[in-house]
Amino acid sequence: MTTTDKVFAGSIPEIYDRLLVPLIFETYARDLAVRVTRVAPGNVLETAAGTGVLTRAMASQLPAGASITVTDLNAPMLDRAMSRLSADNRISWRQADALELPFVDQSFDAVVCQFGVMFFPDKVAGYREARRVLKPDGNFFFNVWDKIANNEFADVITQALAGVFPNDPPRFMARTPHGYHNVERIREELTTAGFARISVEMVDGKSVAPSPREPAIAFCQGTPLRNEIAERDASRLEDATNKAAQALADRFGTGPIEGRMRAYVIHALR
């Protein structure tokens, strides 16, 4: 992982929330929120919350008496999330690193993380922190993307950008969001962190867009992939976006398009 892989700033949070969230995150956020609700937690900690798609899903499903503490390392992303849910007094907000949580031991009934653990520079340390703040028999839920070949929009765009920058292809999507999909490795690292009861479920989905242009903008301009493009040649951001859109059109058509998605949902008990 490079240093720019974790930089969600500038215009990225707005584009991410407006285009990428409905494109790939909302389906899995609803799924994860249902799983959290089933264990009836009184208080929940969300780490790496991003712009709050899972927060919103949990807020719509958890009862009035439940509380949600929402954290993210990136203040611009957290600010975007707060702006959408500022009136819900069940939710508290705090900028925090998931590897050094500012909470006392055994504080929460559940810890949940939506597509965030792949950004942890030390996965075991992040899992240990989640376990530390969980109460006995507390629940840890998170999801991760499967390999990029099973997530078609991300795969097509990554291949298209390799044609734009053939000498140094931007690999953010394959390296980070889709770079942590080995289920056995995940089980081993959770076990090392102290979790003993671990279940993993594969969940397939469909990514739907009104045209190829929207996902091209979402990925090229609403993720740290934008930072990689700028590092190579900032003047080519629009050209790279256009090439990505054309590649999607060539693969899926010029009208409304849909692509296959696949992720894993992990549930571990303290």
Contact 94/49 with Cβ under 8 angstroms?
no
- Bridge partners (DSSP) of residue 95 are 72
Q: Could you tell me which residues come within 8 angstroms of residue 148 by beta carbon, excluding any fewer than 6 positions away? A: 154, 155, 158, 173, 174, 178
- With vertex at residue 10, the alpha carbon angle to CA 224 and CA 160, rounded to the nearest 5 degrees, is 35
pLDDT tens sequence across 92-138: 999 999 999 999 999 999 999 999 999 999 999 999 999 999 999 99
Kind of pairing, strands 67-72 and 43-47? parallel
pLDDT at 188 over 50: yes
Q: What is the pLDDT of residue 8?
A: 63
Beta bridge partners of 172: none
- Cα separation of 99 and 229, whole Å? 28
Check residue 1 and give its pLDDT.
Answer: 62
Span 148-152, average pLDDT: 98
Q: How many domains does the chain have?
A: 1
pLDDT tens-place string over residues 241-266: 999 999 999 999 999 999 999 999 99
Closest CA to 53 of 124, 143, 131, 129: 143
Note the pLDDT of residue 85. 86
Q: In which domain, by residue range, is 69 found?
A: 3-269
pLDDT digits (tens, 9 = 90+) for 202-216: 999 999 999 999 999
| Tokens describing residue 104 | 């006392």
CATH number at residue 94: 3.40.50.150
Q: How confident is the prediction for the chain on average, in pLDDT? A: 95
pTM of the model: 0.93
